[in-house]
Amino acid sequence: MTDLFAGTAPYYAKYRPDHGDQAIEHLARTFGPDGTVLDLGCGPGTVAIPLAPAVREVLAVDPDEEMLETGRGLAAEVRNIRWLRGDSTRLRELPAFGHIVMGRSFHWMDRRAVLADLDELLPPGGAVALLGPGREPQEEPWEPTMRRVREEFDANTFTATGSFQVSGEHPHDVLVTTPFSDLESAMYEHRLTYDVDAVIGLQLSYSYSSPARLGDRLEPFKEAARKALHDLDPSGTWEHTEVTEVLIARRPTG
């Protein structure tokens, strides 16, 4: 799956919503200033960059070199991030780390296999932190319209063995069956405004409607999306409340 997000990096960096200051502050409290944190599936640094000032070091790991290069550019002045190419099947090849955070990457992985590896690699007290939308995510106001456009262009989802797409299991349900069954959850909200370009850019940040997948259909896709969004709301502006769950999983003590 190393090319799953081919061509998406600039759109991901510009148009994917961040997790909000409160979520990052929660991670900072969890890891502490001496923490060395693996950000697995880091993308262009959505978590790694804002987290770095609060910890000792971030190992920002992603299989897509374009994502890493985009992150390096965005974090040119940040000295405590190491950008490394790798994926969830090669954790033992990475430098040692004390904690791990995964954002929108965890749902693509063979999650139980990853957690079994982490049980061997994380030191006592090491935390597994997941960032995501929670059990009942609120659909964006444009999503039904964009779903129809994606279907028109046969932009379907990929699946990974053991992933959320295959199993339908929420991360909570996976974690409680693993060594990291001591769970702590908190929800944070922040409201964002999107225009037409932002909504289209968001589509191009997804694996299933990436520029690489669309190929020579990219411009027709953008035109169709722009027309559909105008038909949906000629004002071309939407507000959406992003909800981020910070899920911290540890090994039970005592």
Q: What are phi and psi of 209, to 5 degrees?
A: -130, 40
**Both structure tokens of 241:** 């409340």
pLDDT of residue 136: 80
C-alpha gyration radius of the chain: 18
Q: Which of 187, 81, 183, 52 is nearest to 127 (CA)?
A: 183
pLDDT of residue 159: 46
pLDDT of residue 215: 94
**pLDDT tens per residue across span 171-184:** 999 999 999 999 99
pLDDT of residue 160: 41
Give dist(CA 189, CA 244) in Å, integer. 6
**Both structure tokens of 197:** 């370009």
Strand order in the sheet with 57-62: 81-85, 57-62, 36-40, 99-102, 128-132, 237-250, 182-195
Could you write out the DSSP letters of every residue in 216-248? GGHHHHHHHHHHHHHHH-TT-EEEEEEEEEEEE
Amino acid letter for position 15: Y
pLDDT of residue 162: 40
Could you write out the DSSP letters of every residue in 79-132? -SEEEEE--TT-GGGSPP-SEEEESTTGGGS-HHHHHHHHHHHSPTT--EEEEE
Could you write out the DSSP letters of every residue in 165-197? HHH---HHHHHTTSS--EEEEEEEEEEEEEEHH
pLDDT of residue 126: 98
pLDDT of residue 245: 96
Where the chain has pLDDT below 50, the residues are: 1-2, 159-166
